[in-house]
Amino acid sequence: MPVLSYGEMPLANALLSEADLGREEPRWPLELAFCEHCALLQITESIDPELLFGEYAYFSSYATTMLEHAEELVERLVRERALDGGSLALEVASNDGYLLQHYVSRGVPVLGIDPARNVVEAAEARGVETLCGFFGEELARELVASGRRASVLHANNVLAHVPDVQGVVAGIAAVLADDGIAVVETPYVRDLVERTEFDTVYHEHLFYYSLTALDRLLSRSGLRIVDVERLPIHGGSLRVFAAPAGSPEETAPSVAALLAEEEELGIPTSAYFEGFASRVESLRAELVALLHGLEAQGHRLAAYGAAAKGSTLLNYVGIGGDVLEFVADRSEHKQGLYLPGVRLPVVPPERLLEEMPDEVLLLAWNFADEILEQQAEYRRRGGRFLIPIPEPRLV
Protein backbone atom coordinates (compact mmCIF):
# COMPACT_ATOMS: atom_id res chain seq x y z
CA MET A 1 0.00 0.00 0.00
CA PRO A 2 1.42 3.46 -0.93
CA VAL A 3 1.95 5.64 2.15
CA LEU A 4 3.83 8.81 1.08
CA SER A 5 5.65 10.07 -2.03
CA TYR A 6 8.51 12.56 -1.67
CA GLY A 7 8.99 12.94 -5.42
CA GLU A 8 12.50 12.92 -6.92
CA MET A 9 15.18 13.40 -4.25
CA PRO A 10 19.01 13.53 -4.21
CA LEU A 11 20.96 11.05 -2.10
CA ALA A 12 20.78 12.49 1.40
CA ASN A 13 24.43 11.90 2.34
CA ALA A 14 25.93 12.80 -1.05
CA LEU A 15 27.38 16.14 0.01
CA LEU A 16 28.76 18.25 -2.82
CA SER A 17 32.19 19.78 -3.30
CA GLU A 18 32.72 23.19 -4.87
CA ALA A 19 33.51 21.47 -8.17
CA ASP A 20 30.21 19.59 -8.07
CA LEU A 21 28.13 22.78 -8.02
CA GLY A 22 28.36 23.19 -11.78
CA ARG A 23 26.95 19.72 -12.39
CA GLU A 24 23.40 18.46 -12.27
CA GLU A 25 22.74 16.18 -9.31
CA PRO A 26 21.17 12.77 -9.97
CA ARG A 27 17.82 12.27 -8.29
CA TRP A 28 15.76 9.16 -7.62
CA PRO A 29 12.12 8.58 -6.63
CA LEU A 30 11.59 8.35 -2.87
CA GLU A 31 8.32 6.66 -1.98
CA LEU A 32 7.10 4.88 1.16
CA ALA A 33 4.87 1.80 0.99
CA PHE A 34 3.66 -0.80 3.49
CA CYS A 35 3.74 -4.59 3.03
CA GLU A 36 1.27 -6.49 5.21
CA HIS A 37 2.93 -9.85 4.45
CA CYS A 38 6.15 -8.87 6.28
CA ALA A 39 4.56 -6.06 8.36
CA LEU A 40 7.22 -3.71 7.02
CA LEU A 41 7.16 -0.06 6.00
CA GLN A 42 9.72 0.37 3.22
CA ILE A 43 10.78 2.52 0.29
CA THR A 44 10.02 1.21 -3.17
CA GLU A 45 13.36 1.74 -4.93
CA SER A 46 16.84 0.73 -3.73
CA ILE A 47 20.11 2.35 -4.80
CA ASP A 48 23.39 0.51 -5.45
CA PRO A 49 24.98 0.12 -1.96
CA GLU A 50 28.44 0.93 -3.36
CA LEU A 51 27.09 4.31 -4.49
CA LEU A 52 25.63 4.95 -1.03
CA PHE A 53 28.36 3.61 1.21
CA GLY A 54 31.67 3.43 -0.72
CA GLU A 55 32.61 6.78 0.85
CA TYR A 56 30.45 7.86 3.76
CA ALA A 57 30.04 11.32 5.24
CA TYR A 58 28.61 10.27 8.60
CA PHE A 59 31.11 9.68 11.41
CA SER A 60 29.36 8.48 14.58
CA SER A 61 32.06 9.85 16.89
CA TYR A 62 31.05 13.46 16.20
CA ALA A 63 27.84 12.91 18.20
CA THR A 64 28.60 12.93 21.92
CA THR A 65 25.20 11.36 22.58
CA MET A 66 26.14 8.39 20.38
CA LEU A 67 29.46 7.88 22.19
CA GLU A 68 27.80 7.93 25.61
CA HIS A 69 25.02 5.65 24.37
CA ALA A 70 27.59 3.16 23.04
CA GLU A 71 29.82 3.16 26.12
CA GLU A 72 26.89 2.62 28.47
CA LEU A 73 25.75 -0.42 26.46
CA VAL A 74 29.25 -1.90 26.23
CA GLU A 75 29.83 -1.52 29.96
CA ARG A 76 26.54 -3.27 30.65
CA LEU A 77 27.20 -6.19 28.28
CA VAL A 78 30.75 -6.76 29.51
CA ARG A 79 29.40 -6.96 33.06
CA GLU A 80 26.25 -9.01 32.42
CA ARG A 81 27.82 -11.51 30.02
CA ALA A 82 31.26 -11.69 31.67
CA LEU A 83 33.07 -10.80 28.46
CA ASP A 84 36.87 -11.01 28.59
CA GLY A 85 39.98 -11.66 26.50
CA GLY A 86 38.53 -14.95 25.27
CA SER A 87 35.37 -13.31 23.90
CA LEU A 88 34.77 -11.56 20.57
CA ALA A 89 32.69 -8.41 20.11
CA LEU A 90 31.72 -7.98 16.46
CA GLU A 91 29.88 -5.07 14.90
CA VAL A 92 28.24 -4.94 11.49
CA ALA A 93 28.46 -1.47 9.89
CA SER A 94 30.88 -0.44 12.64
CA ASN A 95 31.54 3.05 11.24
CA ASP A 96 34.60 4.73 12.79
CA GLY A 97 34.90 2.39 15.78
CA TYR A 98 32.76 4.62 18.01
CA LEU A 99 31.31 1.55 19.81
CA LEU A 100 33.97 -1.15 19.53
CA GLN A 101 36.64 1.16 20.98
CA HIS A 102 34.94 0.74 24.36
CA TYR A 103 35.41 -3.04 24.20
CA VAL A 104 39.08 -2.52 23.26
CA SER A 105 39.64 -0.36 26.34
CA ARG A 106 38.13 -3.16 28.47
CA GLY A 107 40.36 -5.86 27.03
CA VAL A 108 37.73 -7.58 24.86
CA PRO A 109 38.88 -8.54 21.32
CA VAL A 110 36.87 -6.87 18.57
CA LEU A 111 36.19 -6.99 14.87
CA GLY A 112 34.38 -4.31 12.93
CA ILE A 113 32.97 -4.68 9.42
CA ASP A 114 32.10 -1.64 7.30
CA PRO A 115 31.98 -0.98 3.53
CA ALA A 116 33.09 2.69 3.68
CA ARG A 117 36.82 3.04 3.11
CA ASN A 118 37.16 6.40 4.84
CA VAL A 119 35.48 5.36 8.09
CA VAL A 120 37.41 2.07 8.18
CA GLU A 121 40.65 4.10 8.11
CA ALA A 122 39.37 6.19 11.03
CA ALA A 123 38.49 3.04 12.99
CA GLU A 124 41.87 1.45 12.38
CA ALA A 125 43.57 4.66 13.52
CA ARG A 126 41.91 4.31 16.94
CA GLY A 127 42.98 0.68 17.28
CA VAL A 128 39.76 -1.02 16.18
CA GLU A 129 40.42 -3.94 13.82
CA THR A 130 38.02 -3.45 10.91
CA LEU A 131 37.35 -5.28 7.66
CA CYS A 132 36.32 -3.14 4.69
CA GLY A 133 33.40 -4.86 3.01
CA PHE A 134 29.71 -5.69 3.06
CA PHE A 135 28.60 -8.18 5.69
CA GLY A 136 26.49 -11.16 4.69
CA GLU A 137 26.24 -14.93 5.03
CA GLU A 138 29.32 -15.63 2.88
CA LEU A 139 31.61 -13.38 4.95
CA ALA A 140 30.10 -14.76 8.16
CA ARG A 141 30.94 -18.33 7.14
CA GLU A 142 34.49 -17.27 6.25
CA LEU A 143 34.87 -15.86 9.76
CA VAL A 144 33.52 -19.05 11.32
CA ALA A 145 35.92 -21.14 9.20
CA SER A 146 38.80 -19.03 10.53
CA GLY A 147 37.70 -19.76 14.09
CA ARG A 148 35.98 -16.44 14.84
CA ARG A 149 32.48 -16.53 16.33
CA ALA A 150 30.83 -13.62 18.09
CA SER A 151 30.10 -13.64 21.80
CA VAL A 152 28.19 -10.43 21.21
CA LEU A 153 27.26 -8.97 17.83
CA HIS A 154 26.04 -5.40 17.34
CA ALA A 155 23.95 -4.25 14.40
CA ASN A 156 23.11 -0.62 15.11
CA ASN A 157 20.98 1.12 12.49
CA VAL A 158 22.06 -1.35 9.80
CA LEU A 159 19.03 -3.58 9.13
CA ALA A 160 17.29 -0.50 7.74
CA HIS A 161 20.06 0.05 5.20
CA VAL A 162 20.70 -3.21 3.35
CA PRO A 163 18.71 -4.48 0.32
CA ASP A 164 19.60 -8.11 1.13
CA VAL A 165 18.49 -7.84 4.73
CA GLN A 166 17.71 -11.55 4.97
CA GLY A 167 21.29 -12.31 3.89
CA VAL A 168 22.65 -10.06 6.64
CA VAL A 169 20.43 -11.71 9.26
CA ALA A 170 21.49 -15.15 8.02
CA GLY A 171 25.09 -14.00 8.44
CA ILE A 172 24.38 -12.86 11.99
CA ALA A 173 22.88 -16.26 12.80
CA ALA A 174 25.87 -18.05 11.23
CA VAL A 175 28.65 -16.12 13.03
CA LEU A 176 26.95 -15.90 16.43
CA ALA A 177 28.35 -18.29 19.05
CA ASP A 178 25.94 -20.87 20.50
CA ASP A 179 25.81 -18.84 23.72
CA GLY A 180 26.15 -15.49 21.92
CA ILE A 181 23.74 -12.58 21.78
CA ALA A 182 22.92 -10.24 18.88
CA VAL A 183 22.03 -6.66 19.84
CA VAL A 184 20.06 -4.89 17.12
CA GLU A 185 19.06 -1.24 17.25
CA THR A 186 16.84 0.40 14.68
CA PRO A 187 14.48 3.39 14.52
CA TYR A 188 10.97 2.39 15.65
CA VAL A 189 8.29 2.83 13.01
CA ARG A 190 5.73 3.62 15.70
CA ASP A 191 7.65 6.74 16.73
CA LEU A 192 8.10 7.72 13.09
CA VAL A 193 4.34 7.62 12.54
CA GLU A 194 3.14 9.01 15.86
CA ARG A 195 5.69 11.89 15.85
CA THR A 196 5.41 12.57 12.07
CA GLU A 197 9.16 12.00 11.63
CA PHE A 198 8.98 12.12 7.83
CA ASP A 199 12.57 13.36 7.55
CA THR A 200 14.01 10.05 8.77
CA VAL A 201 13.08 8.62 5.36
CA TYR A 202 15.81 8.66 2.70
CA HIS A 203 17.31 6.30 0.14
CA GLU A 204 19.75 4.71 2.61
CA HIS A 205 16.85 3.74 4.89
CA LEU A 206 15.08 1.01 2.97
CA PHE A 207 13.11 -0.45 5.88
CA TYR A 208 11.27 0.93 8.96
CA TYR A 209 10.70 -1.69 11.63
CA SER A 210 8.18 -2.59 14.27
CA LEU A 211 8.91 -5.37 16.76
CA THR A 212 6.47 -7.52 14.80
CA ALA A 213 8.49 -7.04 11.61
CA LEU A 214 11.78 -7.71 13.40
CA ASP A 215 10.36 -10.86 14.99
CA ARG A 216 9.30 -12.23 11.60
CA LEU A 217 12.63 -11.29 9.99
CA LEU A 218 14.90 -12.75 12.67
CA SER A 219 12.90 -15.94 13.18
CA ARG A 220 13.30 -16.86 9.49
CA SER A 221 17.05 -17.28 10.15
CA GLY A 222 16.68 -19.18 13.39
CA LEU A 223 17.06 -16.28 15.80
CA ARG A 224 14.73 -15.64 18.74
CA ILE A 225 14.10 -12.23 20.31
CA VAL A 226 14.69 -12.62 24.05
CA ASP A 227 14.36 -9.00 25.15
CA VAL A 228 13.33 -5.62 23.79
CA GLU A 229 13.74 -2.04 24.96
CA ARG A 230 12.37 1.26 23.65
CA LEU A 231 15.01 3.99 23.45
CA PRO A 232 14.68 7.76 22.91
CA ILE A 233 17.74 7.98 20.62
CA HIS A 234 17.22 8.95 16.93
CA GLY A 235 13.69 10.12 17.62
CA GLY A 236 12.68 6.74 19.05
CA SER A 237 14.36 3.36 18.53
CA LEU A 238 14.02 -0.30 19.40
CA ARG A 239 16.85 -2.33 20.88
CA VAL A 240 16.29 -6.06 20.60
CA PHE A 241 18.42 -8.87 21.99
CA ALA A 242 18.32 -12.03 19.89
CA ALA A 243 19.78 -15.48 20.59
CA PRO A 244 19.98 -18.69 18.55
CA ALA A 245 16.59 -20.44 18.62
CA GLY A 246 18.01 -23.35 20.63
CA SER A 247 19.68 -21.13 23.21
CA PRO A 248 18.61 -21.50 26.86
CA GLU A 249 18.27 -17.70 27.15
CA GLU A 250 14.96 -16.87 28.82
CA THR A 251 12.55 -14.58 26.98
CA ALA A 252 11.69 -11.43 28.90
CA PRO A 253 7.99 -10.56 29.37
CA SER A 254 8.63 -7.27 27.51
CA VAL A 255 8.70 -9.12 24.18
CA ALA A 256 5.19 -10.60 24.33
CA ALA A 257 3.88 -7.37 25.89
CA LEU A 258 5.11 -5.13 23.07
CA LEU A 259 4.02 -7.56 20.35
CA ALA A 260 0.52 -7.56 21.87
CA GLU A 261 0.55 -3.76 22.08
CA GLU A 262 1.47 -3.48 18.41
CA GLU A 263 -1.31 -5.90 17.47
CA GLU A 264 -3.84 -3.84 19.41
CA LEU A 265 -2.67 -0.61 17.73
CA GLY A 266 -2.91 -2.25 14.30
CA ILE A 267 0.79 -1.68 13.48
CA PRO A 268 1.01 -4.92 11.42
CA THR A 269 -1.76 -3.60 9.12
CA SER A 270 -1.92 -0.92 6.44
CA ALA A 271 -4.73 0.86 8.31
CA TYR A 272 -2.18 2.11 10.86
CA PHE A 273 -0.50 4.24 8.19
CA GLU A 274 -3.62 5.92 6.84
CA GLY A 275 -3.50 9.66 7.40
CA PHE A 276 0.30 9.82 7.76
CA ALA A 277 0.75 11.65 4.44
CA SER A 278 -1.83 14.31 5.32
CA ARG A 279 -0.15 14.91 8.71
CA VAL A 280 3.19 15.31 6.95
CA GLU A 281 1.69 17.83 4.53
CA SER A 282 0.22 19.83 7.42
CA LEU A 283 3.59 19.88 9.17
CA ARG A 284 5.32 20.98 5.98
CA ALA A 285 2.88 23.86 5.50
CA GLU A 286 3.26 24.98 9.11
CA LEU A 287 7.06 24.91 8.97
CA VAL A 288 7.26 26.79 5.66
CA ALA A 289 4.82 29.44 6.90
CA LEU A 290 6.84 29.94 10.09
CA LEU A 291 10.18 30.26 8.26
CA HIS A 292 8.78 32.66 5.65
CA GLY A 293 7.09 34.63 8.40
CA LEU A 294 10.38 35.11 10.26
CA GLU A 295 12.09 36.06 7.00
CA ALA A 296 9.37 38.64 6.28
CA GLN A 297 10.09 40.22 9.67
CA GLY A 298 13.68 40.79 8.54
CA HIS A 299 15.16 37.91 10.55
CA ARG A 300 18.34 36.19 9.39
CA LEU A 301 18.06 32.41 9.35
CA ALA A 302 20.51 29.50 9.28
CA ALA A 303 20.40 25.76 10.00
CA TYR A 304 22.30 23.32 12.20
CA GLY A 305 23.16 19.70 11.40
CA ALA A 306 24.22 18.61 7.88
CA ALA A 307 22.57 15.26 8.55
CA ALA A 308 20.74 13.03 6.08
CA LYS A 309 17.43 13.85 7.77
CA GLY A 310 18.19 17.53 7.20
CA SER A 311 18.65 16.94 3.50
CA THR A 312 15.30 15.13 3.33
CA LEU A 313 13.52 17.85 5.28
CA LEU A 314 14.87 20.81 3.29
CA ASN A 315 14.43 19.18 -0.11
CA TYR A 316 10.92 17.98 0.67
CA VAL A 317 9.66 21.27 2.13
CA GLY A 318 11.47 23.32 -0.54
CA ILE A 319 13.56 25.53 1.74
CA GLY A 320 17.17 26.35 0.76
CA GLY A 321 19.51 29.27 0.17
CA ASP A 322 16.59 31.59 -0.52
CA VAL A 323 15.77 31.47 3.21
CA LEU A 324 18.78 29.97 5.02
CA GLU A 325 22.31 31.37 4.89
CA PHE A 326 24.26 28.22 5.82
CA VAL A 327 24.16 24.98 7.79
CA ALA A 328 26.57 24.52 10.71
CA ASP A 329 27.97 21.11 11.64
CA ARG A 330 30.68 19.81 13.99
CA SER A 331 32.02 17.23 11.53
CA GLU A 332 35.21 18.40 9.86
CA HIS A 333 34.47 15.84 7.14
CA LYS A 334 31.39 17.84 6.11
CA GLN A 335 32.66 21.40 6.53
CA GLY A 336 33.47 23.08 3.22
CA LEU A 337 30.94 20.92 1.37
CA TYR A 338 27.34 21.64 0.36
CA LEU A 339 24.10 19.95 1.37
CA PRO A 340 22.59 17.90 -1.50
CA GLY A 341 19.80 19.43 -3.52
CA VAL A 342 19.49 22.71 -1.64
CA ARG A 343 23.28 23.31 -1.87
CA LEU A 344 23.65 25.13 1.44
CA PRO A 345 27.31 25.55 2.48
CA VAL A 346 28.36 23.52 5.54
CA VAL A 347 30.37 25.60 8.02
CA PRO A 348 31.85 25.11 11.52
CA PRO A 349 29.51 25.80 14.48
CA GLU A 350 31.63 28.83 15.42
CA ARG A 351 29.92 30.70 12.57
CA LEU A 352 26.78 30.93 14.68
CA LEU A 353 28.50 33.31 17.12
CA GLU A 354 30.30 35.15 14.32
CA GLU A 355 27.15 35.76 12.26
CA MET A 356 24.47 35.61 14.99
CA PRO A 357 21.46 34.65 12.81
CA ASP A 358 18.22 35.34 14.65
CA GLU A 359 16.96 31.75 14.33
CA VAL A 360 18.58 28.43 13.50
CA LEU A 361 16.54 25.55 12.09
CA LEU A 362 17.70 22.46 14.01
CA LEU A 363 17.90 19.76 11.35
CA ALA A 364 19.62 17.29 13.70
CA TRP A 365 16.70 17.51 16.13
CA ASN A 366 17.38 13.95 17.34
CA PHE A 367 20.40 15.39 19.18
CA ALA A 368 18.56 18.51 20.36
CA ASP A 369 19.60 18.36 24.02
CA GLU A 370 23.27 17.92 23.14
CA ILE A 371 23.29 20.71 20.54
CA LEU A 372 21.33 23.17 22.66
CA GLU A 373 23.84 22.66 25.46
CA GLN A 374 26.79 23.11 23.10
CA GLN A 375 25.27 26.32 21.74
CA ALA A 376 24.40 27.84 25.12
CA GLU A 377 26.38 31.01 24.34
CA TYR A 378 24.53 31.58 21.06
CA ARG A 379 21.24 31.25 22.92
CA ARG A 380 22.47 33.49 25.77
CA ARG A 381 23.11 36.23 23.20
CA GLY A 382 19.52 36.00 22.01
CA GLY A 383 19.69 33.39 19.27
CA ARG A 384 16.84 30.90 19.01
CA PHE A 385 16.57 27.38 17.65
CA LEU A 386 13.58 26.19 15.64
CA ILE A 387 12.93 22.49 16.30
CA PRO A 388 10.78 21.15 13.43
CA ILE A 389 9.67 17.70 14.74
CA PRO A 390 7.09 16.63 15.92
CA GLU A 391 5.72 20.15 15.48
CA PRO A 392 7.64 23.40 14.83
CA ARG A 393 8.61 25.23 18.05
CA LEU A 394 11.09 27.97 18.91
CA VAL A 395 13.41 27.54 21.90
291-338 tens-digit pLDDT: 999 999 999 999 999 999 999 999 999 999 999 999 999 999 899 999
Residues 6+ apart with CB under 8 A from 157: 93, 185, 186, 187, 234, 237
pLDDT digit string (tens) for 72-89? 999 999 999 999 999 999
Provide the pLDDT for residue 92.
96
Residues 6+ apart with CB under 8 A from 259: 211, 212, 215
pLDDT digit string (tens) for 117-172? 888 999 999 999 999 999 999 999 999 999 999 999 999 989 998 889 999 999 99
pLDDT at 379 exceeding the cut of 70: yes
Sign of the alpha-carbon torsion through 205, 206, 209, 214: negative
What is the rounded average pLDDT of the residues 1-21?
94
Strands 223-231 and 237-244: antiparallel
Provide the pLDDT for residue 57.
52
In this prediction the pTM is 0.87
- pLDDT bracket for residue 53 (50, 70, 90): low
pLDDT digit string (tens) for 111-127? 999 988 888 999 999 99
Q: How many Å apart are CA 176 and CA 149, to the nearest integer?
A: 6
Determine what percent of the chain is predicted with pLDDT higher than 70: 96
Domains of the chain: 36-273 (3.40.50.150), 287-394 (3.40.50.720)
Q: How many Å apart are CA 65 and CA 71, to the nearest integer?
A: 10
Mean residue pLDDT across the chain: 93
What is the rounded average pLDDT of the residues 246-274?
95
Report how far apart, in Å, the C-alpha atoms of 130 and of each of 77, 97, 205, 252, 346 are.
Answer: 21, 8, 23, 33, 29
What is the rounded average pLDDT of the residues 23-45?
92
- pLDDT bracket for residue 45 (50, 70, 90): confident
Beta bridge pairs of residue 92: 113
pLDDT at 65 exceeding the cut of 80: no
Contact indicator for 242, 221 with CB cutoff of 8 Å: no
DSSP 209: B
